[in-house]
Amino acid sequence: ALEGGGHAVGIEEAAWRPDPNRMSATFEGDDLDASLIELLDLRFLKPDDPRFVSTLEAVEKGLRRGSTMLRYDTEDDFGLPETAFNVCTFWLIEALHATGRDADARALFEEMVARRTPAGLLSEDIDPKTGELWGNYPQTYSLVGLINCAGLLSKSWNTVR
């Protein structure tokens, strides 16, 4: 972790899985969760840390469905997830940008922008197969993700003027 010692070391030791070379969402298991991408935003790991890069690759491979991201793919109280959680896709866009995959981040962002309703809004979830918006509408988390990524991927004012 960026600020070593204390709880950070305990978390690293409990969550790191040497095989398959990534962090786990749980200390006792081997679960993937899109929230692992937030280790970057929380400044727990840096974007060039090999542990973050390998965790990002595993999360993307395991939870990405086309241009959407599941939060997780394990069974919960409602069964297996059928829809993708839009804010997780925005977390992925931020991580792709931070790790130097700008073209991938921009392409995925443009796909998400195209999924907005005529009013420019997004729902909580999206059906990865049909692209149909599901869940709470409008969803603040999704819109905050959209705004954050728009700012992150925008050209600086100095290059526009």
For the chain, the straight-line distance linking the first and the last C-alpha, in angstroms and rounded, comes to 39
State the pLDDT at residue 75: 83
Residue 21, classified by CB atoms within 10 Å of its CB into exposed (0-12), middle (13-18) or buried (19+), is middle
The answer to the question of residue 25 being in a domain is: no
State the pLDDT at residue 10: 83
The answer to the question of residue 154 being in a domain is: yes
Question: What is the pTM assigned to this prediction?
Answer: 0.90
d(CA 92, CA 87): 9
H-helix or E-strand containing 148? helix 140-153
**Count of the separate structural domains present in the chain:** 1
* Residue numbers of the domain that contains 144: 32-160
The answer to the question of residue 125 being in a domain is: yes
The answer to the question of residue 121 being in a domain is: yes
The answer to the question of residue 137 being in a domain is: yes
Q: Say how far residue 60 (Cα) sits from the centre of its chain.
A: 8
State the pLDDT at residue 4: 54
d(CA 78, CA 72): 13
Find the largest Cα–Cα distance for the chain.
Answer: 53
The answer to the question of residue 1 being in a domain is: no
The answer to the question of residue 18 being in a domain is: no
10-residue block means of pLDDT along the chain (161 residues)?
Answer: 65 88 90 95 95 97 96 87 96 98 97 97 96 96 97 81 64
At position 60, the amino acid (one-letter code) is E
The answer to the question of residue 147 being in a domain is: yes
Residue 125, classified by CB atoms within 10 Å of its CB into exposed (0-12), middle (13-18) or buried (19+), is buried
